[in-house]
Chains A and B, each alone.
Chain A
Amino acid sequence: MQKILLLGDEALAQGALDAGLSGVYAYPGTPSTEITEYIQASKQAEEGGIHCDWSANEKTALESALGMSYAGKRALVCMKHVGLNVAADPFMNASIVGANGGLVIVSADDPSMHSSQNEQDSRVYGKFALIPTFEPSNQQECYDLVQYAFNFSEMFHTPVLLRMVTRLAHSRSGVECKSPKAQNLLNIPTNLKQFILLPAIAKKNYAGLLGKQNDFMSHGEKDGWNTLTLGKDRKLGIIASGIGYNYLMENYPDGCPYSILKISQYPLPVNMLTRLAAESVELLVIEDGYPFIEEQIKSIIPTPLIIRGRLDGTLPRMGELNPNIVAQGLGIKVPDFNIVPEVVKPRPPKLCDGCPHISSYNALNEALSDYVPGRVFADIGCYTLGALPPYNAINSCVDMGASITMAKGAFDAGIFPAVAIIGDSTFTHSGMTGLLDAILDKSAITVMILDNETTGMTGGQDSCAFGRIENICLGLGVEKEHIRVIIPLPKNHEENVKVIKEELEYKGVSVIVPRRECLQVIGKKHRRR
C-alpha cells in the first residue's frame, strides 16, 4: 500500500478517523493543534459529519467528548500538556465514571519548552487517574496506537490517555493506512447510573477501576506495544519509552548488543521489567520527559540493581533527548564537531511588523509612563512577546486567564492602577470567570482584551470570542461607559493613550478592547483567494 507523508499529529488524526471517530474536541495548543486542523480539513470527516469545531477550552472539550462517549460514540480530545491542567477536573473524574463509546484523550507534551511555560509530563496524569496510557514512538505507531486505544477504551469502558511529544507531533514520515471503520451507532449506557458520581456510586466505580488495573497491565505484557528483546551482552538492560527508543536505535545502526524493553503502553509491564532486571547487571532508562519510569521501577525491581537515567545524572534531568545526549549516556564517543562562530546572534521570535499588539503596547507604555513600573499582568499568546525589548511591557505570564485574576489580587494588595493584558481567545478560554470576580469585588483594574479576532500564536484558529466580547463584558456587569473599543494603529496613538489613561484612573473595572485583525490571518485569507 502507498504510504502517505504525515506529521505525527496528522497520523494520529487519520488513525482516529479510520477508527470510526464521531467527534474531536479541542482547544488549540502547540504541539497538539494539527490533530484537529487535519480533521477539520478532511473530506472523510466532512462526509462522516464528524464534529470538529474548536471548544472554548480544554475542560469544555473533554466534557463534551465525555458526553459523546456516554452516547456510545467514539470521541477524541486533544490538548497541549498544560491544557490537561485546565481539564484536570473532568479528566480525573472521567476515569471514575468510565467510558461508553471509546474515549481517547491526547495530551501533547513539550519537553525543552519550545512553545510552553513548563515541560510537565502527561504520563504522570495517566497514572494519577489510574487509566491506561499510550506513548507512540513513531508516526506509524501514532496511527496504529490510536486505533488500539479506541478498542481498549471500549473493551474496558475506560477513558485512555495518549501522550505525544513535540518532536513526534511535528515530524513527518510515511504512514500506511487501513480501510476506515464505520462510526458507532447511538447507544445509551446500559447502566443509567454509571455516570452519576454520588459517593455511593463513585465508591463502586472506583473499586471497579482499581479492579481493572491488573487487566490493563496484562494487556501491556502481551499486546505487542511493549516488547522485550534480550541482547548478547547482558551487562546492560535498557528501558526506552516513546521516541527515546528512536534515539537509542540511532546509535546502533547494526543492532544493539544489549537487552531492550521498549515501552509504549502503561501501566508498566511488571513481568517484563522483572525479567529484564533478572537478565541484566545494570539498567538504563531512556525516556523523554520526567524520570517517570525510572522512579517507578525502583519499587518494582526486587534486586538492588544499579538503575541509571535522568535521576543519577547519566542523562540530563531536564530538556528533550536527542541522539547525542543518548550516545553520551550509553558511553559512546561522540565525534568532534564544528563550533558555531560568534558572528551568529540569537534571533528570538517577535511580534510581526505591523502587528496590532505593537500599537497596543506602545500606547499602554506611554499611558503608564507616569507610574512606577511593575503593574502589568499578561497572559498566554503572541502578546506575551511584549515581554521582550523594545516593549518590556509586561510583568507576568503564568497560565491561561491569570492576567485578570492576578491584576485583581495585586489591586487587593494595594497596587493601583493594575492592568491585565489578555487576548480575545484566552479571554473566552479562562478570563471570563476572573473578570466576574473583579466585578463582584469592585476591584479597580483595567483589563485590555487584545482582540485580533483569532487564536494567533497557534496559527490563526477561529476564536470563540469572535464578535461577542462587549456583550460578554456587559452581561458580566462591566459598566457600558467603561467598555472602550479602540483601533490599535500607529495613527491613533495619541487618542489611544488618552483612552487608556482615562480608564487607568477609573476606580472600578474597566475594559479596553483594542481591535484589529491579525496580519497572519489576513495574509492566509489572501493566499487562499
Chain B
Amino acid sequence: MKTDIILAGVGGQGILSIAATIGTAAVAKGLNIKQAEVHGMSQRGGDVQSHLRLSDKPIASDLIPQGQVDIIISVEPMEALRYVDMLKPDGWIVTNKATFNNISNYPEAEDIYNELKKYKNHIIIDANTIAKDLGSSRSANIVILGAAAKFIDMPYESFEEALMSIFARKGEDVVNANIKALHAGTEAAEKYIKG
C-alpha cells in the first residue's frame, strides 16, 4: 500500500487539520507516514501545500517526486491546479469549488473549472456551501477530506476514529460536526462521480 497526497490551499484554510486527520488514521493503522508542511511567512494568506505520504514500507523522501502524486486534495480550486505537475497520469484531483480570491489578478472561476475538467479524474464540490448547510462553516476542509477519503487506501472508519481523537478535547459537538462534514463530503463526491 502506498498513497502520495498533495494537500493544497491558502494559508489559514485548514489543510493542516486534513493532514493531521489522515496522519492520525495512518499511524493508528501502523502505516509509515511522512508529511512535509509549510510554516512561516507563506502562512500569511499565501499559497500553502503539504506533501503527505503513506506506505506500508519505509518512506525515504519527505517530498513526493514530481509526477507521482496519487491525489491532490485542495480546499481551493486554483490551488489544486498549482500542483498538477506533481500528479500521476491517472491520479485524482479532489477540490473545493469555492474560490478564495485575495489577489487582484484572480482568474475567472469558469476558466479554472474548465482547466480542472481537462484531467481525467476530478471531483469538484462546493465544500463551503455544504459545510454552511450543516451549520458548521469552519469544517469545509473536512468536507473535502470526506470527498477524497475513498481514494486513500484506508478503511473509512479510520477517518472517523481519527476525527474523534483529534477533536475529542473540543467536545462532542465539534466531533459530531466534523464527522457529519466528512460524511457529507463523501456523499457529494459519490454524487459528482455519478454525474
- The yes or no answer to A324 lying at the interface (CB within 8 A) is yes
Using an 8 Å CB-CB cutoff, how does the interface string of A108-142 with B read, 1 for contact, 0 for none? 00000011000000000000000000000000000
Closest B residue by C-beta to A456: B44
Bound Cα distance from A248 to B63, whole angstroms? 12
Using an 8 Å CB-CB cutoff, how does the interface string of B34-55 with A read, 1 for contact, 0 for none? 1111111111111100010000
- The yes or no answer to B150 lying at the interface (CB within 8 A) is no
Known A-B contacts A324-B66, A350-B46, A350-B102; the reply to A114 vs B40 at CB < 8 A is yes
Bound Cα distance from A5 to B60, whole angstroms? 16
Most chain A Cβ neighbours within 10 Å, of B33, B36, B81, B82 = B36
The 8 Å CB contact of A341, one of B59, B60, B86, B115, is B115
- The yes or no answer to A289 lying at the interface (CB within 8 A) is no
**Contact assessment for B78 and A334 in the assembled complex, using a CB-CB cutoff below 8 Å:** no
Stretch of A93-101, A165-173, A486-494 lying at the B interface: A165-173
Known A-B contacts A171-B62, A338-B87, A382-B44; the reply to A343 vs B115 at CB < 8 A is yes
Bound Cα distance from A284 to B78, whole angstroms? 39
- The yes or no answer to A452 lying at the interface (CB within 8 A) is no
**Contact assessment for A167 and B63 in the assembled complex, using a CB-CB cutoff below 8 Å:** yes
Bound Cα distance from A172 to B42, whole angstroms? 19
**Contact assessment for B65 and A327 in the assembled complex, using a CB-CB cutoff below 8 Å:** yes
- For residue A253, which residues in chain B have a CB less than 8 angstroms away from its CB? 60
**Contact assessment for A167 and B36 in the assembled complex, using a CB-CB cutoff below 8 Å:** yes
- B residues 6-61 in Cβ contact with A at 8 Å: 10-11, 19, 23-24, 27, 32-47, 51, 59-61
Closest B residue by C-beta to A80: B40
Using an 8 Å CB-CB cutoff, how does the interface string of A358-391 with B read, 1 for contact, 0 for none? 0000000000000000000000001001000000
Bound Cα distance from A459 to B41, whole angstroms? 9
- The yes or no answer to B135 lying at the interface (CB within 8 A) is no
Stretch of B105-113, B123-131, B152-160, B187-195 lying at the A interface: B105-113
The 8 Å CB contact of A385, one of B44, B66, B102, B106, is B44
**Contact assessment for B78 and A344 in the assembled complex, using a CB-CB cutoff below 8 Å:** yes
Bound Cα distance from A336 to B89, whole angstroms? 9
Total cross-chain contacts (CB, 8 A) = 152
- For residue A341, which residues in chain B have a CB less than 8 angstroms away from its CB? 81, 84, 115
Known A-B contacts A170-B39, A172-B33, A172-B35; the reply to A347 vs B61 at CB < 8 A is no
Q: How far is the CB of A331 from chain B (nearest CB, A)?
A: 15
Bound Cα distance from A302 to B83, whole angstroms? 46
Bound Cα distance from A335 to B68, whole angstroms? 9
- For residue A30, which residues in chain B have a CB less than 8 angstroms away from its CB? 39-41
**Contact assessment for B33 and A174 in the assembled complex, using a CB-CB cutoff below 8 Å:** yes
**Contact assessment for A172 and B23 in the assembled complex, using a CB-CB cutoff below 8 Å:** yes
Bound Cα distance from A174 to B32, whole angstroms? 7
How many chain B residues touch the partner (CB < 8 A)? 50
- For residue A3, which residues in chain B have a CB less than 8 angstroms away from its CB? 27
- For residue B65, which residues in chain A have a CB less than 8 angstroms away from its CB? 250, 322-324, 327, 334
Q: How far is the CB of B25 from chain A (nearest CB, A)?
A: 11
- The yes or no answer to A431 lying at the interface (CB within 8 A) is no
Q: How far is the CB of A294 from chain B (nearest CB, A)?
A: 21
The 8 Å CB contact of A5, one of B27, B103, B112, is B27
Using an 8 Å CB-CB cutoff, how does the interface string of A243-271 with B read, 1 for contact, 0 for none? 10011111001000000000000000000
**Contact assessment for A345 and B102 in the assembled complex, using a CB-CB cutoff below 8 Å:** no
**Contact assessment for B106 and A335 in the assembled complex, using a CB-CB cutoff below 8 Å:** no
- For residue B112, which residues in chain A have a CB less than 8 angstroms away from its CB? 343
**Contact assessment for A31 and B11 in the assembled complex, using a CB-CB cutoff below 8 Å:** no
Most chain A Cβ neighbours within 10 Å, of B40, B46, B115 = B40
Using an 8 Å CB-CB cutoff, how does the interface string of A453-464 with B read, 1 for contact, 0 for none? 000011100000
**Contact assessment for B44 and A167 in the assembled complex, using a CB-CB cutoff below 8 Å:** no
- The yes or no answer to A348 lying at the interface (CB within 8 A) is yes
Bound Cα distance from A99 to B41, whole angstroms? 35
**Contact assessment for B42 and A349 in the assembled complex, using a CB-CB cutoff below 8 Å:** yes
- For residue B27, which residues in chain A have a CB less than 8 angstroms away from its CB? 3-5, 174
Bound Cα distance from A88 to B42, whole angstroms? 28
- For residue A351, which residues in chain B have a CB less than 8 angstroms away from its CB? 44-45
Closest A residue by C-beta to B10: A347
The 3 closest A-B pairs by CB, nearest first: A115-B40, A30-B40, A349-B46
Given contacts A351-B45, A458-B40, 18 further A-B contacts (CB under 8 A): A115-B39, A167-B36, A172-B19, A172-B37, A173-B34, A174-B33, A246-B60, A250-B61, A250-B65, A322-B63, A336-B67, A337-B85, A340-B83, A341-B84, A341-B115, A345-B103, A347-B46, A351-B44
Please give the residue numbers on chain A whose beta carbons come within 8 Å of chain B beta carbons, in ascending order.
Answer: 3-5, 7, 30-31, 33-34, 114-115, 167-168, 170-174, 243, 246-250, 253, 322-324, 327, 334-341, 343-352, 382, 385, 457-459
